[in-house]
Amino acid sequence: MPREVARGSLLFNIMISRNRIFLFFLLNFFLFQLAVGICMERETLPLPADRVFNHAVSLLELSDGTLFVAWSSGSKEKNRDTAIVLSFKKLHGNGWSEPQILIDTPNRADGNPMIFLLDNEIYCFYSYLWGTGWSTARLFYTKSKLNAFTDDVRDINFSWISPKRIFPFYKMGDLGRGKPVILDDKGFLLPLYKEFSGYYSYVCEFIDGKIIYNSALIKSRPGNLQPAIIQVMGRELLMLMRPERGGYFWQSFSKDKGKTWSKPEQRKDLFNPGSGFDLLRLASGNIILIFNDDSKSRTNLTIALSEDNGKSFPIKKILEEEDDVDFAYPSAIQDLKGKINIVYSVDKKEIRHIVLDEKEILESQK
């Protein structure tokens, strides 16, 4: 064989080998990204100009399929310029609206918004800081009737009432995070917590905007906060709580519509690094938990599914995972099409939105 032909054949074989190696690594990279959920729908929301702190987001779907989100935004967490902003995404629209101010208490930091729909009204519960720490938080709410919508998300208008204080002015340290349990078209149970000389969860029943009762503080060591509640069997309610420090979730039960709660126990099967989470029952009857599946770090965001009313969450799927990046404070809904929508903050700087099917979670166990 001529030397030139042999050399050309050798070069050709080398190129083929290199391409095979490249394709091997490319395939493995794709499979890895698939495993952490890159194939899910994912987007980043527009952010307010000159507001680098964006965190503690809450998500709601309106009756026409519009997605509504509210979150805390300012120059820095707990700075006095921190306000509650909102954004919308129409069902058949062209993306999210530019954020606009919902609540901006003069010379006070506003935080921890929680939004939900009741009797054709949107409620927004939130706290503002009288001082510089969460122990000075005062709990308020505002609400608005749903007005006629147009196809242009920019034309959605609301008529928010003046904010109403929940507790007397001298009572501080009360905050919300978890969604309510809707009782009927006028009443709901709202999970709350107190950061004042410790960390304690409790529940209030509201009817027509007035407190009917609030439960005793749920005490544990270490403390508990940011509770989420869900109905599990008949009248029985399950409450999961974030720990004061990294470790495990706290758990408690109520059999009398939230008036009294069992002694809290640690869920040794569920890690929590001291971070917000969300709990949601799906139309299928299964329950999902969106949380940081680690005792110390927020660098992964995981969705876990229970098929036994919250007794166990063995089916898990990683939504986000990256070293030195915090994915935190998720809020979830199941929309009118049956899709699971989750919003959360990234490094307390941006807000992301993920959409996936329950089937994708179930397939992750295979």
DSSP labels, 204-220: EEEETTEEEEEPPPB--
Tens-place pLDDT, residues 23-59: 555 455 444 444 444 468 999 999 999 999 999 999 9
Q: Report the distance separating Cα 110 and Cα 127, nearest Å.
A: 6
The pLDDT, as a whole number, for residue 4 is 55
Tens-place pLDDT, residues 143-199: 998 875 555 555 567 889 999 999 999 999 999 999 999 988 789 999 999 999 999
Residue 262 per-residue DSSP state: P
Residue, of 322 and 24, whose pLDDT is higher = 322
Tens-place pLDDT, residues 265-320: 999 999 999 999 999 999 999 999 999 999 999 999 999 999 999 999 999 999 99
Residue, of 231 and 9, whose pLDDT is higher = 231
Q: Report the distance separating Cα 351 and Cα 118, nearest Å.
A: 25
Has this prediction a pTM greater than 0.85?
A: yes
| Confidence grade of residue 325 (pLDDT, cut at 50, 70, 90) | very high
Locus of tokens 């969300």: 278
For range 232-261, the mean pLDDT: 95
The pLDDT, as a whole number, for residue 37 is 46
| Confidence grade of residue 7 (pLDDT, cut at 50, 70, 90) | low
| Confidence grade of residue 120 (pLDDT, cut at 50, 70, 90) | confident
Residue closest to 48 by CA, chosen among 89, 87, 78, 104: 87
Are 146 and 62 within 8 A, CB to CB?
Answer: yes
| Mean pLDDT of the chain, nearest integer | 90
The pLDDT, as a whole number, for residue 94 is 83
3-state secondary structure 309-329: CCCCCCEEEEEEECCCCCEEE
The pLDDT, as a whole number, for residue 308 is 97
The pLDDT, as a whole number, for residue 86 is 96
For range 221-227, the mean pLDDT: 97
For range 345-352, the mean pLDDT: 98
The percent of residues above 90 in pLDDT, for the chain, comes to: 78
The pLDDT, as a whole number, for residue 32 is 46
Q: Report the distance separating Cα 315 and Cα 308, nearest Å.
A: 12
| Cα–Cα distances in angstroms (integers) from residue 240 to residues 175, 202, 332, in the given order | 16, 11, 15
Q: Measure CA of the first residue to CA of the last residue in the chain; give whole Å.
A: 53
